[in-house]
Every structure is written in C-alpha cells, then in structure tokens.
Amino acid sequence: MFKKVVSFVILTIALSSVQAATAKIYFVSPKNNETVTKNFKVKFAQKGLKVKPAGEDMENKTAGHFHVIVDGTFIPEGIVIPADDKHIHYGKAQMETELTLTPGQHTLTLQFADGAHRSSGEKLSQTITVNVR
C-alpha cells in the first residue's frame, strides 16, 4: 500500500510539473494591433492552468487569476503585482472585462499570478498592442 501511495504522489508531482511547463495564457480578443473604440471588451484564456479567485489554492503553481497591465510589461516571477490604475486585478477569476482607454496606441500585458497576487513571470504573460480611436 505504501508503495502505491508513493507512486501516486510521484506521478502527481510529475504531472503538475509537465502541466506547469506547457501552460500558457493569451488574449482571445482584441488581437494584436487591432483598432478598437475607447470602450472595448477584452477576453482572456488559458491552457494547462486553473483559474481560481484570489486567496484560493495559494501555493498551487498551476492555479491563479489574471491581471491586465496597461502600458507596462510583465512582472518578474514571485513579485506581488501592484494594485493601481495600470495594474488591473481580476481576483474573482474573471476571464473577460471591458476597458476604457484614451485614443492612441497602448500595450496590454496579460499576467497570470497565484492566489496571493505573486506573478508567474514572463512565461505566463502576453503583451499585445491596441490602437484606440
């Protein structure tokens, strides 16, 4: 019995490592370089991750929630993502939102983070450019 439990634990750890290595997040819409109105919908998605509200499953590297960084870049792994006008938290496990931006070119960086808002780093981020008319 002990041997079966140990085998199960090892298999679970191995699968979690593979899942974390193949995980990705991305914008569904808008697309990179898309022209949008000043109020526009943003949809995000993930593969190989569990989207959970902030505060849940905090030590699981494959569980967390999204953040959108306006006109900024990814946050290094392990750093807590600030909460301000440029760092928008979706801690209720939302996978879409509506943004309002001024006319001009802007970057949007999608960033995944754990339940304590610690960034998953560059490997779980994506940056696109939008042109607001």
Digitized pLDDT (tens) for each residue of the chain, 133 residues in all? 656 655 444 544 444 444 457 899 999 999 999 999 999 999 999 999 999 999 998 888 899 999 999 999 999 999 999 999 999 999 999 999 999 999 999 999 999 999 999 999 999 999 999 999 9
- As a whole number of angstroms, the distance between CA 62 and CA 47 comes to 10
What's the CATH code, domain 24-132?
2.60.40.10
Domain ranges of the chain: 24-132
Could you give the C-alpha distances from 99 to 28, 54, 129, in angstroms and in order?
Answer: 15, 21, 14
Q: What is the pTM of this model?
A: 0.84
Closest Cα partner for 126 from 59, 29, 41?
29
